[in-house]
Amino acid sequence: MTASTTPHGPIYDRVALVGIGLIGSSIARAVRRGRLAKHVACWTRRPETRDTTRKLGIVDSVHDTLAEAVKDADLVMLCAPIGANADIAQAMAAHLKPGATISDVGSVKQAVIRDVGPHVPEGVHFIPGHPVAGTEHSGPESGFAELFERRWCILTPPPGTDQASVDRLTKFWQAMGSKVEIMDAQHHDRVLAITSHLPHLIAYTIVGTVTDLEDHLRREAADAGTMIERAEIVKFSAGGFRDFTRIAASDPIMWRDIFLNNREAVLEMMGRLSEDLAALQRAIRWGEGEKLEAWFRRTREIRRGVLDAGQAGTFAATEPEKK
Amino acid sequence: MTASTTPHGPIYDRVALVGIGLIGSSIARAVRRGRLAKHVACWTRRPETRDTTRKLGIVDSVHDTLAEAVKDADLVMLCAPIGANADIAQAMAAHLKPGATISDVGSVKQAVIRDVGPHVPEGVHFIPGHPVAGTEHSGPESGFAELFERRWCILTPPPGTDQASVDRLTKFWQAMGSKVEIMDAQHHDRVLAITSHLPHLIAYTIVGTVTDLEDHLRREAADAGTMIERAEIVKFSAGGFRDFTRIAASDPIMWRDIFLNNREAVLEMMGRLSEDLAALQRAIRWGEGEKLEAWFRRTREIRRGVLDAGQAGTFAATEPEKK
């Protein structure tokens, strides 16, 4: 991507990162690489993570208090798990610079508006955002400057948001390599419930089911034909299960918060999925081959759409497989 | 892999491939590369596929009848969808060379034994097999010689099978780069039901659910907040859904046959999964964050196991992303 390597003047004088995991630390690295801010400040809740961040040397200053970190910042980017947003927003409100922009990177947007919105002072611009990018790794060590390249970043500014501030934030994400889309928050939450939240829930479920299965069979002292060891499942996991284990290795706190904060949309999609699963289960039980084949042919088509949209195969390129 | 590039003498004089899709054509290419047979013959049901195979030039002879193809073969490898095995086994029985080995590449093993076993003539050795390798692409064009490298091939010889024949087939797969494991057929079917069949069923389901959702919302003439277009789902599919679309693009006939022929194990695993899914769904509805977090922490562990077993990340390496 030339976008991310082209020199930019700083887009913000001072950026404050609140929380610094995979996403926050990737922003820090991308900002430094592109010289997109004169200074990147950071605060995060755990002292150990502050120490790690200092050692990594990826930001200009690590602060022990939230107030110091956000002071004078032109852009405050909330990168903590979304369940922490309400407390953070309340605690930092009095310390924000007039005219500053608050944004975030949460995977759910209506809940962020609900939690942060009431604490945004007059004259501060609140523009929720969601970079649709990630790996299953977490923590400040796991970030990398290329994470956002060629990936979508969705901004969901409430109606009436200052346009100049939206444009500036758009430019910031584009300079990190992202493609930016403006969207209604409710719509965002429904789309992501399907494309991301539901697949993660399924992956978490199936990996847990498999783990339990071994324990169950062992307790039952099953015979050699039925006994299945976890080691075996892992060994022969190439045929599909491996993809699920990667998804199900994602950050537990982040995902707990996503499900709790996008409850309605996830439960609606989950309901639809359960019905379809029951229908396919029934088709297998009754040996309805034609029904199965027709279903499987149809699902092939949407893959072609994914390839045409250029989303396939890019994850592997930005995901260094770490142990 | 040095195994596959080290020169071997031919392991079989004549190999016959019955059916030539992704797996069959990959065997053809791997055999030629490693000079593992003096002659590779092929028959497949559809005349068009025979023509394609002739044009590809990946086998030594393409035959218009099954009888001609298997005549004088030392190894007959069944590579057609498993639903076709019974008819094929019956049709070729009279034409097999005494002392020949019949094997196959099906993802289900008890059903293959049920369908092929009764037709195996006295003096012919039947050794079912399953290379745990694949991509979502199908047809003879999609194969490649490296498909089996560093992947498991499971052989399930019935008790009493001629050991010299098993050893020879083992050597054949090893020469194509595979690691070979001998296993009981029932056990194979249960392990693969979890590691491969269930994940595929889930992926097929969720991709179908999503496709239907758009049609449904469109018919209901939903408002802008709730309306979701398939194009949008595809666009923002980076966060999990994309992995499912790849799995759900696998060959429809092959997978129809797998589900119909491993019914019991798949339905048992499916039942366990449904219960767990309902439990997580309930935890989301009731806002039970601790329960969700505990579940998600547990699933992280099994991923470490997958990485340690060296299965992760290898699919991408052997899967050229094609349009």
Residues 6+ apart with CB under 8 A from B291: B283
3-class SS at B278? helix
CA proximity to A262, closest of A188, A152, A203, A204: A188
Let me know whether A43 and A164 are in one domain: yes
Is A317 within 8 Å of chain B by CB? no
Query: Is residue A323 in some structural domain?
Result: no
Query: Is residue B296 in some structural domain?
Result: no
Let me know whether B178 and B196 are in one domain: no
Is B222 within 8 Å of chain A by CB? no
Q: Is the dihedral of CA B252, B190, A238, B112 positive or negative?
A: negative
Question: Which of A133, A202, A237 has its CB closest to that of B306?
Answer: A237
What are the DSSP E strand ranges found in chain B? Answer: 12-18, 37-43, 61-62, 75-78, 101-104, 125-127, 129-131, 152-155, 179-182
Phi first, then psi, for residue B247 (nearest 5°) are -60, -40
Residue A179: left if φ>0, alpha if ψ -120 to 50, beta else—which one? beta
Our CA angle for A93, A99, A103, nearest 5°, is 65
Cα separation, A57 vs A49, in Å, equals 12
Of the residues A229, A302, A323, the best mutation for testing chain B's interface (the one with the most B CB atoms within 10 Å of its CB) is A302
Let me know whether A228 and A313 are in one domain: yes
Domain boundary, last residue among A183, A209, A242: A183
Is B159 within 8 Å of chain A by CB? no
Domain membership of residue A209 as a residue range: 188-318
CB contact under 8 A, A300 and B252: yes
Parts of chain B with a pLDDT under 50 = 1-5, 311-323
Query: Is residue B314 in some structural domain?
Result: no
Question: Tokens 């999964």, residue?
Answer: B273
Let me know whether B38 and B56 are in one domain: yes
Which A residues, 233 through 292, put their C-beta within 8 Å of a C-beta on chain B?
Answer: 233-250, 252-253, 255-257, 259-260, 263, 266-267, 269-270, 272-274, 276-278, 280-281, 284-285, 287, 289, 292
pLDDT tens for the 323 residues of chain A, in order: 444 445 568 999 999 999 999 999 999 999 999 999 999 999 999 999 999 999 999 999 999 999 999 999 999 999 999 999 999 999 999 999 999 999 999 999 999 999 999 999 999 999 999 999 888 889 999 999 999 999 999 999 999 999 999 999 999 999 999 999 999 999 999 989 988 898 889 888 988 888 787 777 766 656 656 667 767 777 777 657 777 888 888 889 999 999 999 999 999 999 999 999 999 999 999 999 999 999 999 888 777 766 666 544 333 333 333 33
CB contact under 8 A, B273 and A206: yes
Cα separation, B86 vs B104, in Å, equals 12
Query: Is residue A6 in some structural domain?
Result: no
Domain boundary, last residue among B183, B204, B236: B183
Query: What stretch of H or E contains B116?
Result: helix B110-116
CB contact under 8 A, B231 and A287: no
Contact A285, A210 (CB under 8 A): no
CATH of the domain at B222: 1.10.3660.10
Is A159 within 8 Å of chain B by CB? no
Let me know whether B48 and B162 are in one domain: yes
Looking at the structure of chain A, the number of domains it has is: 2
Is A307 within 8 Å of chain B by CB? yes
Phi first, then psi, for residue B302 (nearest 5°) are -65, -30
Query: Is residue A124 in some structural domain?
Result: yes
pLDDT digits (tens, 9 = 90+) for B224-258: 566 677 677 777 776 577 778 888 888 899 999 99
Give chain B's largest Cα–Cα span: 70
Contact B60, B87 (CB under 8 A): no
Let me know whether A120 and A213 are in one domain: no
CA proximity to B80, closest of B126, B17, B29: B17
Residues in chain B closer than 8 A to A318 (CB atoms)? none
Domain boundary, last residue among A143, A158, A183: A183
Let me know whether B207 and B278 are in one domain: yes
Residues in chain A closer than 8 A to B303 (CB atoms)? 136, 207, 245-246, 248-249
CATH of the domain at A117: 3.40.50.720
Is A306 within 8 Å of chain B by CB? yes
User: What residues are paired with B37 via a beta bridge?
Assistant: B12
Let me know whether A156 and A298 are in one domain: no
Cα separation, B297 vs B288, in Å, equals 15
Let me know whether B214 and B176 are in one domain: no
Query: Is residue A209 in some structural domain?
Result: yes
Q: How many CB atoms lie within 10 A of CB A167?
A: 10
CA distance A57 to chain B (A): 28
CB contact under 8 A, B289 and A241: no
Is A223 within 8 Å of chain B by CB? no
Contact B275, A278 (CB under 8 A): no
Phi first, then psi, for residue B77 (nearest 5°) are -110, 115
Query: What stretch of H or E contains A153?
Result: strand A152-155
Which B residues, 168 through 207, put their C-beta within 8 Å of a C-beta on chain A?
Answer: 184, 186-187, 190-192, 194-207
pLDDT reported for residue A6: 52
CA distance B132 to chain A (A): 6
Let me know whether A247 and A158 are in one domain: no
CB contact under 8 A, B228 and A190: yes
Query: Is residue B308 in some structural domain?
Result: no
Let me know whether A194 and A174 are in one domain: no
Is B312 within 8 Å of chain A by CB? yes
CB contact under 8 A, B285 and A269: no
Is A123 within 8 Å of chain B by CB? no
Rounded to two decimals, the pTM is 0.79
Which A residues, 51 through 110, put their C-beta within 8 Å of a C-beta on chain B?
Answer: 83, 107
Contact B212, B285 (CB under 8 A): no
Query: Is residue B297 in some structural domain?
Result: no
Taking CA–CA distances from B202, the nearest residue in chain A reads: A277
Contact B120, B102 (CB under 8 A): yes
Let me know whether B79 and B164 are in one domain: yes
